[in-house]
Amino acid sequence: MTTTLGNVASVAARAGGSVIRQVRSIVDPSSARPAGADRPASGWLVVTLAGEPSEIDVDRLPAFLARFGDQLEVRVRAAPGGRGTEFAARLRGRPFGSTAARLSGTDPQADLRSALRRAKQLVEVGEVLVVDPAPHGDRTATPGGTLLEMWTRAAPKAGVR
- Region 49-68 average pLDDT: 87
Model confidence over 68-83: pLDDT tens digits? Answer: 888 899 999 999 988 8
Cα gap 147→41, rounded to integer Å? 32
Q: Measured on CA atoms in the order 80, 95, 123, 150, is the torsion positive or negative?
A: positive
Beta-carbon count within 10 A of 122 CB:
17
Report the sign of the C-alpha dihedral through residues 102, 61, 71, 80, in that order.
positive
pLDDT top residue among 5 and 153: 153
pLDDT averaged over every residue in the chain = 75
How many C-alpha atoms does 145 have within 13 Å on its Cβ side?
A: 6
User: Within its chain, how far is the Cα of 90 from the centroid?
Assistant: 12
Residues 83-126 have pLDDT tens digits of 899 999 998 875 555 666 666 666 788 888 888 988 898 888 88
User: Other CB atoms closer than 10 Å to residue 113's CB: what's the count?
Assistant: 19
